[in-house]
Amino acid sequence: MTRRFDLKKIMMDNLVLVVIFLLVIITAIVEPNFMSEANMTNLMRQFGPLSLVSLGMTFVIIGGFIDLSVAGIISLVAVVTVALIDPLGQVNALLIGVALGAGLGLINSILLLTCGAMTQAEALFITFGMSSVYSALALIITDGATLHMTWLTTPQTIFETIGSGTVGVLSVSFIIFLVCLAILYVFQGETHAGRSISYTGGNKVAAILSGIPVKRSMVIIYTISGFMAAVGSVVLFSRVTTAAPIIGRGFETNAILSVVVGGTSLKGGKGSVLRTVLGVLLVTLLSNCMNLLGVPPYMQVVLRGAVLVLAIWLDNRKEL
């Protein structure tokens, strides 16, 4: 009986891995093309943008907040970066684009602090509003048109490498993800600022009384979120070679879904970037499998919503 109980506990503690394993096995049997080299390469490239955005969202949710502005940040960074390639060159455009994302995240944190928004609900509405602002700016800059990188006269070798380059069997975008993951993993576990984010999300009042710089933590998590959204944006438009003013639409919900499915508590205080990777893998696999199996797009939205509800329910069950 003890062995059976332990097995059940191990499976529940690693439910995401179990679901990923079953999803891969079932899809590989039903659709042989799932295991093809072309689909594996496609999966690796699909994994890149969402994983980068989700890593940034992880710190926001661990800190006890939420960030719906990433969709607008992705769109604005994409159109600004592509628009600057011809006049400033690809290196300057890239640096400005990434810095813009971090700056927009910083603006979010300053706005939240100015408004005295210290709860997740307040952050939700404020960042939703900022997402609308950033998306509107992207539409104004492009006049609603999509920017095509093929129209540019300046070489785009850096972006071509990011979008379709490989190093051995690994895509360049996946290597960028691995570098970011390693840096953020060390930051979360080995630095005082990283650990302070968990304390802030666990109990803000207790954190303040303990001398934890809660306001500084808010600035850090939103700046990280903006920066990672910008990096994800660069990887995304480099892959699709276009920068639409709505290119970031839907990334905020998929990032939150990935973080929560990965095991980070929506209540804050608990979570890990490593667990988020599993969540992103599951969400990416689920989308890929549904596409291969011919599941209608509207039904895919329903299923992703059901997965999010289930993840939140399981998260609440752990607290009982």
pLDDT tens digits along 67-94 = 999 999 999 999 999 999 999 999 999 9
Give a yes or no: residue 183 inside a domain.
yes
Strand, coil or helix: what is 69? coil
Give a yes or no: residue 19 inside a domain.
no
239 vs 20, higher pLDDT: 239
Give a yes or no: residue 308 inside a domain.
no
- Give the structural domain span for 216: 48-248
Q: How far apart are CA 147 and CA 259, in angstroms?
A: 31
pLDDT, tens digit, 9 for 90 and up, residues 30-47:
888 888 877 887 787 788
Nearest to 196 by CA among 186, 180, 208, 185: 208
Radius of gyration for the alpha carbons in the chain, expressed in angstroms and rounded: 20
Give a yes or no: residue 319 inside a domain.
no
Which letter, b or e, does each residue of 14-33 get, where b requires 16 or more Cβ atoms within 10 Å of its Cβ?
eebeebbeebeeebeeebee
pLDDT, tens digit, 9 for 90 and up, residues 281-293:
988 888 888 888 8
Q: How many domains are there within the chain?
A: 1
pLDDT, tens digit, 9 for 90 and up, residues 135-145:
999 999 999 99
Range 160-167 contact pairs with CB under 8 angstroms and sequence separation of 24 or more: 160/238, 162/234, 162/235, 162/238, 162/239, 163/235, 163/238, 163/239, 163/240, 163/241, 164/238, 164/239
Q: How far apart are CA 55 and CA 35, in angstroms?
A: 27
Q: How far apart are CA 55 and CA 15, in angstroms?
A: 20
Give a yes or no: residue 237 inside a domain.
yes
For 23-62, the DSSP string reads HHHHHHHH-GGGGSHHHHHHHHHHHHHHHHHHHHHHHHHH
* Model pTM score: 0.90
Scanning the structure block, which residue is given the tokens 């709860």?
119
Q: How far apart are CA 185 and CA 181, in angstroms?
A: 6
Give a yes or no: residue 107 inside a domain.
yes
- CB-based contacts of 75: which residues, under 8 Å, 6+ apart? 134, 135, 138, 233, 244, 245, 246, 247, 248, 249
Give a yes or no: residue 320 inside a domain.
no
For residue 66, CA distances in Å to 55, 82, 104, 116, 117 come to: 13, 28, 15, 15, 11
Q: How far apart are CA 155 and CA 136, in angstroms?
A: 29
Percent of the chain with pLDDT over 70: 94
Give a yes or no: residue 213 inside a domain.
yes
Nearest to 156 by CA among 234, 262, 55, 103: 234
Q: How far apart are CA 177 and CA 184, in angstroms?
A: 10
pLDDT, tens digit, 9 for 90 and up, residues 232-283:
999 999 999 999 999 999 899 999 989 988 888 888 888 889 989 999 998 8
- Ramachandran quadrant class, 211 (left: phi over 0; alpha: psi -120 to 50; beta: rest): left
